């Protein structure tokens, strides 16, 4: 398939939709920003897309909890169509606030046992950073699985974060072990030498240094860092001193992998 179509879901408070649309277009997709209300009115419109992205921001002002209101809308109005979207082999990506939405709907890690989207049975959550403040910095990331289609196995990347509720916490040690051992960790926070560590290496205190999660299919991924904010080398904080600016900027790898997957599999 040469005509890859991506939908970037908008809602009140979302503020990274333009950058996300731009990144998808750079990767070769036909990307369109669509408000959640339009999709609720016509859920079948999702059939025309192969990639769905929940972008970053502060959906509905993060009232109640980050991503909770948007997650409620999705579960109550779009659960069946979105479940089918994933079952059909299509891709779902959630960035920052979008990751929070994916966690609260159960899309990732998808361990609630029902196989459907649900606001109950949540085994993982995202909560306040250990620092107690909004963290805005750049972080190194190490892939944690080889089955997630968004990830280049073995390739460390460098991306910015900007969040106040990014700490991954599991409901039990058993859940944490399952996530660690069964390939649900898409990325972990590391330092420049590839080592895990405390703050600021792990900027929010996430268990097992988890920065991103995938589901059992590897076709859905949520991550706290912002790949759409590093799609050109000039966006790197030290770009004038970089010795190697060959190839694509690190954030582009995620969007390009998604587009290439659709081209090869549809």
Look up the CATH number of the domain holding residue 40.
3.40.50.880
96 is catalytic: yes
Strands in 26-145 per DSSP E: 30-35, 51-54, 91-95, 124-127, 135-143
Strands 5-10 and 30-35: parallel
Residue 121: per-residue pLDDT: 75
Question: Residue 103: helix, strand or coil by DSSP?
Answer: helix
226 is catalytic: yes
The residue to which tokens 């250990």 are assigned: 130
Distance from C-alpha of 246 to C-alpha of 94, rounded to nearest angstrom: 27
pTM of the model: 0.96
Q: What is the pLDDT of residues 131-141, one digit of tens each?
A: 999 999 999 99
Average pLDDT over residues 164-192: 96
Query: Given 21, 142, 165, 226, which residue is catalytic?
Result: 226
228 is catalytic: yes
Better-scored residue on pLDDT, 33 or 65: 33
Q: What is the pLDDT of residues 92-132, one digit of tens each?
A: 999 999 999 999 999 999 887 656 787 777 899 999 999 99
Q: Yes or no: say if 179 and 245 are a contact pair by the CB < 8 Å rule.
A: no
CA angle 28, 96, 180 (to 5 degrees): 100
Strands 220-223 and 91-95: parallel
Q: Which range marks the domain in which residue 41 is found?
A: 5-265
pLDDT at 33 over 80: yes
**Which residues on neighbouring strands pair with residue 95, listed in sequence order?**
223
Average pLDDT over residues 176-196: 97
Residue 241: per-residue pLDDT: 86
Average pLDDT over residues 210-228: 97
Query: Given 19, 135, 165, 228, which residue is catalytic?
Result: 228
Residue 122: per-residue pLDDT: 86
Average pLDDT over residues 144-162: 97
pLDDT at 79 over 90: yes
Q: Over pLDDT 70: what percentage of the chain?
A: 99
Query: Given 16, 19, 96, 170, which residue is catalytic?
Result: 96
Distance from C-alpha of 62 to C-alpha of 69, rounded to nearest angstrom: 8
Question: Residue 11: CB partners within 8 Å, gap ≥ 6?
Answer: 35, 36, 59, 60, 70, 73
pLDDT at 150 over 80: yes
Q: Which of 85, 76, 89 is nearest to 118 (CA)?
A: 76
The residue to which tokens 């339009």 are assigned: 38
Q: How many domains is the chain built from?
A: 1
Average pLDDT over residues 57-73: 92
């Amino acid at each position: 398939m040469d005509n890859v179509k991506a939908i970037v879901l908008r809602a009140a408070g979302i503020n990274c939709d333009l950058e996300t649309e731009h990144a998808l277009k750079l990767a070769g997709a036909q990307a369109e920003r669509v408000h959640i209300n339009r999709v609720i009115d016509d859920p079948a419109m999702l059939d025309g897309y192969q990639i769905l992205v929940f972008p970053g921001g502060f959906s509905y002002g993060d009232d109640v909890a980050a991503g909770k209101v948007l997650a409620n809308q999705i579960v109550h109005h779009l659960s069946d169509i979105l479940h089918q979207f994933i079952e059909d082999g299509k891709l779902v990506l959630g960035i920052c606030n979008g990751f929070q939405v994916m966690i609260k709907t159960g899309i990732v890690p998808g361990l609630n046992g029902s196989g459907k989207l649900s606001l109950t049975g949540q085994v993982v959550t995202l909560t306040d950073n250990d620092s107690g403040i909004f963290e805005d910095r750049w972080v190194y990331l190490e892939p944690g699985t080889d089955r997630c289609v968004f990830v280049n196995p073995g390739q460390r990347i460098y991306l910015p974060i900007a969040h106040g509720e990014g700490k991954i916490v599991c409901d039990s040690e058993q859940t944490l072990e399952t996530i660690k051992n069964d390939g649900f960790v898409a990325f972990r926070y590391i330092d420049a030498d590839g080592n895990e560590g405390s703050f600021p290496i792990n900027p929010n205190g996430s268990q097992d240094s988890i920065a991103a999660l995938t589901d059992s299919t590897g076709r859905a991924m949520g991550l706290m860092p912002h790949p759409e904010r590093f799609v050109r080398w000039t966006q790197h904080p030290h770009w004038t001193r970089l010795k190697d600016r060959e190839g694509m900027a690190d954030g582009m790898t995620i969007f390009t992998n998604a587009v290439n997957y659709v081209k090869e599999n549809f």
